[in-house]
């Protein structure tokens, strides 16, 4: 039966304000920082990679898509593996492996080798992403889960900003190889911090890997009314953000902006807004409930898409900040919602959500490249606008989603 596969249920976990909660939150913040620094730093380097190997923008964006696709593929198998060997072991191995692979990316002799290393890196990072939400749901009190999840996503936001900013600045000064090397070393430092701060699992109980139970748990996930809608929100929202960040650099390097690469990198500071919005969204969710907040957060994303359309640098920067804020609020709300609902139903909803989330990043970002190639930024606006409108509609439907009782 699906219930035979371990999914975290409600426990008397650590509460906000305790030393244990602070240590876990620090460790997960460092993990989120390392993950998004590593995963998306190449977005700022796509124009340099396109120039180095004579690639189109859409082809260069494969350096991002191959990592997120591998991450999506690895999420569910590594979730099952963590049931047998433990949460902290999988997360620690994932972080250190991805950091080493990141350093190796800096010496790639050609684009094909770079893609292979980036794919392996994404597969390694799947171990962290697959287990993080389950670990938090097991070890923290249900009422404190939203705040800690918000901090984890905040680490993602700062990592995404730092990776892009450092890559752009170092790439302009010393070349893309040095940029990837330095970011790999930064990820290694975050991995060490994670290992020192993380607490061993107190509520985890190892179970043997059972493929039949896994299939049953995944299948049962799609019998729920709410979880598939939440998965769809993840796919559509991440497709929007990745498309914008993949191709905005190409736009700003061209007329009418004609900005140098180092200045284009400064635009990515707007990613920092996601750290603030995700933390606020997590706390508001603990207080008011997630049902009320998803569609307003998606509406903020839509406003960002609109503001990004005009050819004015100020409006582009504001639009990027608004879009990023809305996205990370949506992601913090939905990821915590999936974790709580999956725990109550005892299904592998968190793993399926992450698989869908990163498939959206890979496939949705690649389709965004086709929109950019055929219609320029106007094509990107129509494409991302349609995606976000669908998220708003789903958010309105989710307001009426009934809660479920723990099985």
Output the six-digit token pair for 76.
């569910």
Rounded CA separation 338/146 (Å): 11
pLDDT digits (tens, 9 = 90+) for 245-255: 999 999 999 99
**What pLDDT score does 164 carry?**
87
Q: 3-class DSSP state for residue 259?
A: coil
**HSE toward the beta carbon, residue 224, CA cutoff 13 A:** 28
Rounded CA separation 80/26 (Å): 25
Rounded CA separation 92/400 (Å): 39
Beta bridge partners of 14: 140
| 99, 84 Cβ separation under 8 angstroms | no
**What pLDDT score does 4 carry?**
33
* Residue 361 DSSP code: I
**What pLDDT score does 9 carry?**
43
CB atoms within 10 A of CB 402: 7
How confident is the prediction for the chain on average, in pLDDT? 87
pLDDT digits (tens, 9 = 90+) for 356-390: 888 888 999 999 999 999 999 999 999 999 999 99
Rounded CA separation 69/132 (Å): 19
Write down the H helix ranges in 140-205: 145-174, 176-197
| 283, 146 Cβ separation under 8 angstroms | yes
Q: Positive or negative, the Cα torsion across 141, 214, 95, 240?
A: negative
For the purposes of burial, counting CB atoms within 10 Å of the CB of 112, is it exposed (0-12), middle (13-18) or buried (19 or more)?
A: exposed
Per the listing, tokens 């708003």 go with 392
Mean pLDDT of 126-139: 82
Write down the H helix ranges in 360-407: 365-398
Output the six-digit token pair for 205.
């109980």
Helix axes 294-308, 226-253, angle to 10 degrees: 20
Domain ranges of the chain: 2-398
**HSE toward the beta carbon, residue 294, CA cutoff 13 A:** 31
Q: Percent of the chain at pLDDT above 70?
A: 95
Rounded CA separation 384/326 (Å): 13
pLDDT digits (tens, 9 = 90+) for 43-85: 999 999 999 999 999 999 999 999 999 999 998 888 778 877 8
Does 205 or 198 have the greater pLDDT score?
198
pLDDT digits (tens, 9 = 90+) for 170-197: 998 999 999 999 999 999 999 999 999 9
Pseudo-torsion of CA 84, 86, 91, 97, nearest 10°? -60
Helix axes 62-85, 349-359, angle to 10 degrees: 170
In this prediction the pTM is 0.83
Q: 3-class DSSP state for residue 258?
A: coil
**What pLDDT score does 85 carry?**
81
Please state which CATH number belongs to domain 2-398: 1.20.1250.20
Q: 3-class DSSP state for residue 401?
A: coil
68, 126, 151, 160: which is closest to 336 by C-alpha? 151
| 330, 305 Cβ separation under 8 angstroms | no
Rounded CA separation 211/209 (Å): 6
């Amino acid at each position: 039966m699906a219930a035979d596969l371990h999914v975290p249920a409600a426990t008397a976990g650590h509460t906000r304000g305790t030393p244990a909660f602070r240590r876990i939150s620090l460790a997960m913040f460092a993990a989120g920082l390392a993950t998004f620094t590593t995963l998306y730093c190449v977005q700022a380097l796509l124009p340099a990679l396109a120039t180095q190997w004579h690639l189109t923008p859409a082809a260069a964006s494969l350096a991002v898509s191959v990592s997120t696709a591998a991450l999506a593929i690895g999420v569910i198998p590594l979730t099952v593996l963590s049931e047998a060997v433990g949460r902290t072991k999988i997360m620690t191995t994932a972080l250190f492996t991805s950091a080493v692979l990141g350093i190796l990316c800096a010496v790639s002799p050609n684009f094909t080798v770079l893609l292979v290393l980036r794919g392996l890196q994404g597969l390694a990072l799947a171990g962290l992403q697959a287990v993080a939400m389950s670990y938090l749901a097991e070890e923290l009190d249900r009422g404190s889960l939203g705040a800690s999840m918000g901090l984890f996503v905040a680490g993602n936001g700062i990592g995404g900003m730092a990776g892009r900013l450092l890559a752009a600045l170092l790439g302009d000064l010393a070349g893309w190889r040095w940029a990837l090397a330095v970011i790999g070393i930064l990820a290694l430092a975050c991995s060490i911090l994670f290992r020192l701060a993380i607490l061993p699992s107190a509520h985890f109980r190892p179970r043997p890997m059972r493929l039949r139970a896994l299939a049953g748990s995944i299948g049962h996930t799609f019998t729920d009314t709410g979880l598939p809608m939440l998965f769809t929100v993840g796919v559509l929202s991440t497709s929007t953000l990745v498309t914008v960040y993949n191709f905005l650099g190409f736009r700003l390097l061209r007329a009418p902006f004609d900005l140098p690469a180092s200045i284009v990198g400064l635009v990515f500071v707007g990613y920092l807004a996601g750290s603030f919005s995700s933390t606020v969204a997590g706390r508001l969710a603990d207080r008011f409930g997630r049902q009320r907040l998803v569609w307003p957060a998606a509406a903020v994303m839509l406003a960002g898409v609109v503001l990004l359309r005009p050819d004015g640098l100020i409006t582009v920067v504001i639009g990027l900040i608004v879009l990023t804020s809305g996205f990370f609020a949506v992601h913090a709300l939905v990821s915590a919602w999936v974790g709580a609902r999956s725990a109550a139903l005892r299904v592998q909803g968190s793993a399926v959500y992450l698989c869908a989330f990163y498939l959206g990043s890979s496939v949705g970002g690649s389709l965004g490249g086709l929109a950019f190639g055929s219609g320029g930024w106007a094509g990107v606006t129509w494409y991302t606008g349609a995606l976000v409108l669908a998220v708003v509609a789903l958010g309105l439907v989710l307001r009426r989603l009934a809660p479920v009782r723990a099985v």
